[in-house]
Structure 1
C-alpha cells in the first residue's frame, strides 16, 4: 500500500511553532474500499471514500458499494489503498470507527496529528485529541531551532545579560549540546516532515 504520499520537564512556557504549516492546505484523507467477493473472483470492484466523516456515513458508502456488486454474496470488504493519511499507516482491516477518528483529526489538525498517532500508537489507544495538544510542541526546521526559540521564550539570554559585563564574553549557551541532550534524554520525540523540518512532541505528559 502506498501513501501518496529537552523539552524542560517542569511546566514552562513553550516556544511558538513555525506558523507556515498553519496556512498549508489541510489534508483530505480517503480510503479505497474493495468488495472481497469480487476481488476473490478476479474482479476489481470498489470505491474511493472520504474518510474524514462520521462512521455511519463511511459505512453507508461501503454498504452502497457492496450493494452495487454483481456478486451474489458481496458482504465483506477490505481497505486496499489510502491517501493523505501522512505518517499514519492504514491497515487492510482497520475498523470504520478508527479510520473515522484518525482521518477527522488529520483533516482538522494536519499531518502533525498523523505523525503523533504513528509515534504513540499503542500508548494512546483512543488517539485522544487532548493528548495530542498536550504533546505537540510544534513544527521547526530542526531541534536546534526549537531549543533556540525555547531559550528565547524563557529569557535565558536576558538572564546572561544580567551578568557583570566583564564576564559576559566568557559565558555562552551551547544550543547544539542542549539540542543533543534533549534528544538523547527521551523527553521529546521528533518526526521528520517529508516536506522539510520536524514535528516535535513531548513524551512525558
Structure 2
C-alpha cells in the first residue's frame, strides 16, 4: 500500500517503559501488516531489556483525527487505509463520512433511532438495536473497532 502523505505510529517497548527507559520507533503505517510487525520485532530485539516482547502504540500521526488506541492491533491500524485504497479517499471518508466514535454499533442505531423517530414509551422495549446495528453494518457503514468499546463509524454513502 502506498500513501501520499506520512501516516505513522510510534511503537514503544513496554519492558523498557515500565523500567523508566524510553525505547521505541516511529513506523510507517502505510506498509502491510507483516512489514509493520517486522519493524516492531526489530525494535523489541534492540531493546536494552533482554527478552522484551510487549509493545504499545504511544503516538500516531496522519490519521486525520481518528484516535488510535494504545493497544490497537496492527490489523486495525491499517484497516482504514486498506479499505479505501489511498489516502485521498480515506481523507474524504474522515472529513465527509465520519460519524464518530461509539461504544458499539448498537449505540449508533439507538442514537439514530432516537434522533429520527418518536417512539412511545410503551414500545421502547421492543426496539432491537443489535439487529438494527447488523443491518447498518451490512448496508450503510464501515466500522473499525480499535479497542474494547471503541468503534469508529463511517457512513458508506
Tell whether the structures are fold-level matches, with TM greater than 0.5. Answer: yes
Change (3 A) 1:118 1:36: farther
The 8 Å contact of residues 31 and 81 in structure 1, kept in 2 or not, is answered as: yes
**Structure (1 or 2) with the greater strand fraction:** 2
Q: Which residue of 2 aligns with 1:32?
A: 10
Under a length normalisation based on structure 2, what TM-score does the superposition of the two structures give?
A: 0.58
Return the alpha-carbon distance in structure 1 between the equivalents of residues 12 and 97 of structure 2. 25
Runs of 5+ in structure 2 lacking a partner?
106-141, 146-153
The structure with the larger Rg is 1
Runs of 5+ in structure 1 lacking a partner?
1-24, 136-205
Paired residues in the alignment total 108
Counterpart among 18, 32, 42 of residue 64 in structure 1 = 42
1:125 and 2:143 equivalent? yes
Q: Deviation per CA, 1:91-119: give whole Å up to 9, x if none.
A: 10111001111244462524222346742
The answer to which structure, 1 or 2, has the higher relative contact order (CA under 8 A, 6+ apart) is 1
The alignment yields a C-alpha RMSD, in angstroms, of 2.8
The 8 Å contact of residues 45 and 51 in structure 2, kept in 1 or not, is answered as: no
The 8 Å contact of residues 17 and 23 in structure 2, kept in 1 or not, is answered as: yes
The 8 Å contact of residues 28 and 107 in structure 1, kept in 2 or not, is answered as: no
Q: Which residue of 2 aligns with 1:114?
A: 94
Change (3 A) 1:66 1:111: same
Q: Deviation per CA, 1:66-114: give whole Å up to 9, x if none.
A: 0001101310000000001002111101110011112444625242223
Return the alpha-carbon distance in structure 2 between the equivalents of residues 116 and 39 of structure 1. 38
Q: 1:134 Cα shift? A: 4.3
Counterpart among 58, 79, 89 of residue 67 in structure 2 = 89
Under a length normalisation based on structure 1, what TM-score does the superposition of the two structures give?
A: 0.46
